[in-house]
Structure 1
């Protein structure tokens, strides 16, 4: 954590007219981000509020493109996220991987944060590789989050740039409850990725024979139980 003197220096750099791009302000930026992101990780809403009131941009991003709201979403810090949104943090910002705060919340199963972000205008669009929030939740095995995102209208069979679906990702990772839910809500077990693999083949390739059996029971068309 940064000491109060350092925080004041950072705030002064950001408040002084014409100093935003000076060497002093640029040098202070990593420290400012460190201070804010540490406070977010700790859920220290008071310190985050203090930095924002001293002129820190709520949308400032680190070298990987992570914003304060993204960090709050990733860490499940609901109160901090509310403070950032109240100060105008933008829900549509993306990091260098094309990920939004909503995607990070979905990957970590922070359902209340998902509701908050969508209420503030976060969309369900994919990143540059075609991954949607639903896919992040399916890949990480968060059944309740998958159900939540489908209720918000995410297409169950949306595809990544590689042709992967949420069902395929859950099969590959071995999350049978997610697979059961996706199948129950209409996921197609017969779709194939761009390299020609089905969800059943992905399940078998990763040793998830129980999931492969479930897919076959749901109507997956495979030549035999090995997916050959």
Structure 2
């Protein structure tokens, strides 16, 4: 069941879907209409990439790798694109430039954005682009498809963190770019389940390079809210370490704490309550706070945590906040009866 949830959560680059969103299906339908058949299929045809992968793995270990070079068609397209990147819009829409852009775009997404994308192959392409021009490299790395997704969106959604690392290391990746559904790569990463330490290190690098408190354009949710709603506790922890604000409210006035309370995620509620400045008294557009939301959803264990924290905060205020304070009742270091 966890694997299915992971796949659902991490493969949503084109739609950016999340549990707390109600308009996802309508948004996807609208995006489908705006996207041509060819653009939709840029990342669906894995056959070429798979064949390249098989060929790559068949090389003998002592074989000397030849320097990668673009095909003549690809190199010509790159040079044309490079020479016209600073031109006016009219020139950029000329037949020659559009054709070159299309050639580069198809090749780049095929190599970088499929589920089986190979970091070594992506590295070759990044190096080749940079050799043509640093400006071209930045342009290609941040290219979008018909749904507004970049290679970073796709590699994150496929949990291909080897490719994510390479893209971030270029230093020109627009980490905060939103796709047409309004989601950044950071928001998509918040839905991932990371099992390897080196992958989590890449995720934290991603969080550190962008705005972890950015809001999705459609519902105003943050990466922290998405991680909470999908039960990604390790992502919640990583986001908090990278400066995620627990008190940010979405378009409905909800906070990450309210979302955790609604879903009955007691461990995540504890984690959020431990953050300095976590405001349990915030109310949403309906006038509900985290405690009332937990009670309405019949998550009594979560409600007990919130109630205890609320009373603890009141007690400390009444005592005048002494210098040496006992631990909060939600602290993991203090023993409490099991639920």
Which of the residues 122, 144, 147 maps onto 2:210?
122
C-alpha deviation, 1:178, in angstroms: 0.3
Contact 2:187 2:222 in 1 (8 A): yes
Which of the residues 146, 150, 154 maps onto 1:63?
146
In the alignment, does 2:230 pair up with 1:140? yes
Higher relative contact order (CA 8 A, sep 6+): 2
Q: Secondary structure at the match of 2:279?
A: coil
- Structure 2 CA distance for aligned equivalents of residues 216 and 98 of structure 1: 35
Which of the residues 17, 22, 25 maps onto 2:80?
17
Contact 2:214 2:223 in 1 (8 A): yes
Contact 2:112 2:155 in 1 (8 A): no
Contact 1:203 1:211 in 2 (8 A): yes
Which of the residues 179, 186, 190 maps onto 1:95?
179
Q: Secondary structure at the match of 1:154?
A: coil
Contact 2:156 2:188 in 1 (8 A): yes
In the alignment, does 2:256 pair up with 1:166? yes
Could you say if the C-alpha distance between residues 176 and 194 of structure 1 is closer, same or farther in structure 2, counting changes exceeding 3 Å? same
- Structure 1 CA distance for aligned equivalents of residues 76 and 242 of structure 2: 42
In the alignment, does 2:128 pair up with 1:37? no
- Could you tell me which runs of 5 or more consecutive residues in structure 2 were left unpaired when the two chains were aligned: 1-45, 52-69, 82-95, 130-136, 195-199, 312-339
Relative to the length of structure 1, the TM-score reads 0.78
Q: Give the equivalent residue in structure 1 for 2:334.
A: none
Contact 2:266 2:302 in 1 (8 A): yes
Which of the residues 262, 287, 290 maps onto 1:196?
287
Q: Give the equivalent residue in structure 2 for 1:226.
A: none
- Structure 2 CA distance for aligned equivalents of residues 118 and 148 of structure 1: 8
C-alpha deviation, 1:69, in angstroms: 1.1
- Structure 2 CA distance for aligned equivalents of residues 10 and 85 of structure 1: 27
Q: Secondary structure at the match of 1:20?
A: helix
Quote the RMSD (CA, aligned, Å).
Answer: 3.0
Relative to the length of structure 2, the TM-score reads 0.55
Which moved further from structure 2: 12-21 or 185-194?
12-21
**Count of residues in correspondence between the two structures:** 215
Contact 1:107 1:140 in 2 (8 A): yes
Contact 2:77 2:103 in 1 (8 A): no
